[in-house]
């Protein structure tokens, strides 16, 4: 019979164990405050082990007590942190979004108008101003940049 550990529903105790394990990772410096909050919200809303597993895919032990080993997806070689969106949401990322960390994406976008302006003066070609929206789409996807923390706060109210 197949291991169906991921589809089993979990209760408050399992959700609390997941949050406690995430707290340990935050205290060890493996999660920054934003990552911790995102994962903590996802863990506290989870209904099955399959929703908890991806939260620990890029983390070593500790893991929540009782979590089946089969629910933690393996990380492909050469990849870093796994971005875990809240259940029911798809993380907005463009072609380059998964390759460039969030903090660098924001810096790149802030510098793009200056790069376009410099290229315009160097070449006298206005077409370089189109780099601004093109780079934004490549970094953030067609949906653009959203402040997910603000949306999550609004949903909690």
Closest-CA residue to 116 (of 101, 127, 102): 127
Q: What is the pLDDT of residues 38-49, one digit of tens each?
A: 999 999 999 988
- In angstroms, the CA 70 to CA 108 distance is 38
Q: What is the pLDDT of residues 120-131, one digit of tens each?
A: 999 988 888 888
Closest-CA residue to 5 (of 67, 84, 51, 64): 67
- Inter-residue contact 81 to 58 (CB < 8 Å): yes
Q: Helix/strand/coil (H, E, C) string of 15-34?
A: HHHHHHHHHHHHHCCCCCHH
Question: CA angle, corner 76, sides to 145 and 85, nearest 5?
Answer: 30
- pTM, two decimal places: 0.47
Q: Is the dihedral of CA 124, 127, 132, 135 positive or negative?
A: negative
Q: Is the pLDDT of residue 58 over 80?
A: yes
């Amino acid at each position: 019979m197949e291991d169906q550990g991921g589809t089993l529903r979990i209760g408050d105790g399992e959700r609390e164990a997941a949050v406690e394990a995430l707290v340990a990772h935050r205290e060890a410096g493996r999660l920054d405050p934003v990552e911790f909050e995102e994962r903590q919200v996802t863990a506290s809303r989870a209904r099955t082990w399959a929703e908890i597993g991806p939260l620990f895919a890029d983390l070593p032990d500790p893991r929540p007590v009782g979590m089946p080993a089969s629910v933690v997806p393996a990380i492909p070689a050469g990849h870093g942190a796994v971005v875990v969106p809240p259940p029911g949401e798809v993380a907005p990322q463009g072609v380059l979004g998964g390759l460039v960390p969030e903090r660098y994406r924001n810096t790149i976008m802030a510098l793009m108008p200056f790069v376009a302006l410099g290229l315009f003066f160097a070449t006298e070609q206005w077409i370089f101003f189109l780099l601004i929206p093109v780079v934004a789409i490549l970094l953030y996807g067609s949906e653009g940049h959203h402040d997910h923390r603000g949306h999550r706060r609004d949903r909690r109210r």
